[in-house]
Amino acid sequence: MAIATAESTGSKSRARSKWRRFKVDLWLTDMNFTELGIMKHTQHEAASDQFSRDMEIIGQIKDDGDRTGILAYRKEAWKDAEGLQRRLIIKQFTDSMNWKASMEFMMGRSVQLSMGARGFPVCAYTVNLARHDQLIQLERSALKWPFMPEHFSFFIETKDGPRFYRLRRNIFAIGADYSLYDDRGRKIGNLDHRIINLGGSWKVKIREDETYGTLETVIQLFCTMLRYNHDMRDHVKRTVKAVRRGKAGQSLDHHETNLYHNPRKYR
């Protein structure tokens, strides 16, 4: 009986140790080998209508050492726009440059939540994935004590119903390490920030029995967003102050307002 118990315990331990692993690797500058070459940017635009003129490739997804995805962002929307119109828009493409997913910063929603939190910056994002009906809302939590880690949350509609997730920054970590928790409070994944890479790099592992493609894509976009996380919080703080002084401008970016439209309204 003792031998059987030991074997059973060992089997469970091995099952718990099975992880799905991938890497989100961001470059320090916008110049990279994917972009270099005559007419390369034009070729990317032709390959996908989601690759706009101002897109800049900033990183890649690596799976067992092989590149399986490309990460880019809209440079003009982030660096050239101001106030309510300044937004972070991240897109993921397959290695053949077919659009896979987008993560867009929602300024209107972020200002609303931050005002409700008395000026504490609450950044809100919308994630749009190819072949997935739901627009996934990922938001920073307004409940944060000084010197305590930040939290983000989101949920994904699946064939078995909604799955709820929480991301918590690790307290005792040098870089931007985060832990992934499911709706029962179980830790099911880890985002390990490799600070030796100046552009930003995260080694991600998620329990094999808990992971699936949609969840992995959301996590990959989240890691990419972390490169801009500090600047996003400062941007929201300044915008909230400008709104209170009546100096934030009059309109949101029209791409963002489209995401707020009532889908049941007759057009």
Kindly report the backbone phi and psi dihedral angles of residue 68, in degrees, each rounded to the nearest multiple of 5, phi listed first.
-120, -5
Per-residue pLDDT averaged across 127-135, rounded? 95
- pLDDT score of 265: 77
Q: pLDDT digit string (tens) for 26-56?
A: 987 655 556 545 445 555 555 567 888 889 9
The better pLDDT of the pair 251, 12 is held by: 251
The stretch 129-137 carries a mean pLDDT of: 95
Lowest mean pLDDT among 4-18, 81-95, 166-180, 231-245: 4-18
How distant, in Å, are the alpha carbons of 47, 56, 107 from that of 237?
Answer: 38, 26, 11
* Residue 267 pLDDT class (50, 70, 90 cuts): low
Mean pLDDT, the chain, rounded, equals: 86
More confident residue, 100 or 144: 100
